[in-house]
Amino acid sequence: MLGAAFITSYCTIKPWEVSIDGAVGYVDNGEFTTADFLKNIYKSYNVDYPKFHKMDNLCKLGLLNAELLIRNSEVTQKYKPEEIAIVLTNSASSLDVDQKYQATIQEKDNFFPSPAVFVYTLPNILIGEIAIKYKITGENAFFIAEQFDPHFMNSYISNLLNTNKARCCIAGWVEFYNNSFNSFLYAVEQQPGKLTLEHTTEILGQIF
Amino acid sequence: MPDHVYVTGMGIISAIGNSVEETFHSLYTGKTGIGKIKYLDTVHKNDFVAGEIKRSNEELIALAGIGDYNRTALCGYIAAREALYNAGIVDINEARTGLVTSTTVGGICHAENVYKDFFEGISNENFTDSYLSGVSANIMASHLGITEFVTTISTACSSAANAIMLGTRLIKNNMLDRVVVGGVDTLSKFTFNGFNTLMILDREWCKPFDENRKGLNLGEGAGFLVLESERLVRQKNKKILARIAGYGNANDAYHQTASSPDGVGALLAMEKALKIEELKPSQISYINAHGTGTANNDSSEGMAMQRLFGAEIPPFSSTKAFTGHTLAAAAAVEAVFSILAIQNSVIFPGLNRHEQMKDVSISPIDQLMINQPLEYVMSNSFGFGGNCSSLIFAKR
């Protein structure tokens, strides 16, 4: 008999609005750039984390989404650092910053690589940034897939919980490539929280 | 109850020897393999020392006898071949056999010498054929005859520990009966310049756990173990070298490259490893520490060991001053050392230590200890970014 699991909170950041548990939050309706939009979310939710400004776009997007999810679900207060897993997925990996970094080393006469940029040229750095900010030391994995796969995510996370590898999981899709972006994070716990959505493939597909 | 997983063979090539036997002799007699750089073609040749394998590429090609491959593939093959020979395995396909190797360098050691000529049209050698980490695994697998399962892990300096862990779990979950596990990294200019840029290389012999340690010495090496299921071991009445009694991997959520000062990840990894068989810290008879000789690692690891073991800390030492830091291979090289310690009832000392570290009260072993019955040996390997792993080898 496998234990039940629930989606206790979910948040999305899409052009150009934030939503928390399905309710619309911050909305941008001016003519902003993506960078402005992310900075506006940072300001509007009073996120105080100066390191944010040094991050690449993928990490900025994912970190903001994680901040909103963690505030809303309070999982870091409910669980020990090693009880929380992080499982993320996207299709463009870190290609957005990979290409920007490549441009700094492409030409001999215009050669200006920066370690501060280089360090972001892996997708799982986003997991690292979330783990560092919220002191999460549980299991983690970043999967690259063509599209969000509710079936895979559901079975992977159920397995983590059912085998006692974690008691809670922060999961979702964080994609940023060429100013096109879409981020969706959700928390899975073994008992209902603010939401009582059952952790099933169907429901995941509906709320994504 | 899943099968126990036993080590039935091991092989190694590093700065202190080209076989298990040579390696034991160097460790036992306190002979370091770190010295003046001879084989790596670098402008820093005279500025640093390193733990080089004492064979040129041509000599390794002859020693391996499988063709003109790069240094990484050759060394990996040589060590894995010794492990299989040591385990008395003649027919590789009599059981479901896999290969889980690990590397950070892969074919960079070769690519970095030819890519310039390629882009300038001087040479047409396609260096990408040998560049990827997985290529050396495939070369090794094809010459060893392993077809069932082949994969490569790259998690910086904990890579081989994670390979040993994955191999163990593949057997425990009845997906394979036998897995050749380990890692290989050879010296490259890329690694050398990278570590030099990080300013964590000691220009002289490294001094793990010394108050005045200045950094690590780079090394190169390959280590492989043959892991077999309890069922297979019984069926074939195999000689057992050791048993995998614990493994843990954790991160310490501190920094993209550095380890946390209080060793959170290291502590978690050691605790997880103990938990596999519900061992108590007091049951560990020796710890082969990661002990790289950098300010950051030794302090962080020392703090973690102190927190876990308290005043009852078992003898511990770092063998990095023998081999240099062999990066992805380190945990496999040190798995061989740990098992040699168990088999011979000895504790290998660290080298070059003069002054007690001030931020921890624990001290490593500086002199060879003989007649030490060792039931459980712990071996730590911690990677950049806080990827921390700990393994426990049992005598029986």
Shortest distance, CA B73 to any CA of chain A (angstroms): 25
Q: Identify which of B142, B147, B60, B162 has the alpha carbon closest to the alpha carbon of residue B98.
A: B147
For chain A, the first-to-last Cα distance in angstroms comes to 28
pLDDT of residue A1: 40
**Quick check: B251 and A137 CB within 8 A?**
yes
Q: Identify which of B107, B52, B75, B109 has the alpha carbon closest to the alpha carbon of residue B324.
A: B52
**Quick check: A131 and B253 CB within 8 A?**
yes
pLDDT of residue B2: 67
**Quick check: A82 and B265 CB within 8 A?**
no
Q: Identify which of B21, B55, B23, B19 has the alpha carbon closest to the alpha carbon of residue B40.
A: B55
Shortest distance, CA B386 to any CA of chain A (angstroms): 9
Using alpha carbons, list the distances in angstroms from residue B254 to A115, B261, B300, B329: 18, 9, 12, 24
Which chain B residues have a beta carbon less than 8 Å from that of A134? 253
Please check whether residue B237 is in contact with residue B383, taking contact to mean a CB–CB distance below 8 angstroms: no
b/e per residue B224-247 (b: at least 16 CB within 10 A):
bbbbbbbebbeeeebeebbbbbbb
Give pTM, 2 decimals. Answer: 0.91
| B149-176 pLDDT per residue, tens | 999 999 999 999 999 999 999 999 999 9
Shortest distance, CA A148 to any CA of chain B (angstroms): 25
| B204-230 pLDDT per residue, tens | 999 999 999 999 999 999 999 999 999
Q: Identify which of B380, B383, B154, B153 has the alpha carbon closest to the alpha carbon of residue B251.
A: B383
| A7-66 pLDDT per residue, tens | 999 999 999 999 999 999 999 987 788 999 999 999 999 999 999 999 999 999 999 999
Structure tokens, A163: 């085998």
Q: What are the residue ranges in chain B where pLDDT is below 50?
A: none
Which chain B residues have a beta carbon less than 8 Å from that of A131? 251, 253
Measured in degrees and rounded to the nearest 5, phi and psi for residue B296 equal -65, -55
Inform me whether the pLDDT recorded for A2 exceeds 80.
Answer: no
A125/B contact by beta carbon, under 8 A:
yes
Residue A172 CA to residue A184 CA, distance in Å, equals 5
- Which of A119, A132, A140 minimises the CB distance to B254? A132
Instruction: Calculate the dihedral angle through the C-alpha atoms of B153, B157, B162, B167, rounding to the nearest 10 degrees.
Output: 70
| A64-120 pLDDT per residue, tens | 999 999 999 999 999 999 999 999 999 999 999 999 999 999 988 999 988 889 999
> Quick count: other Cβ atoms within 10 Å of Cβ B307?
16
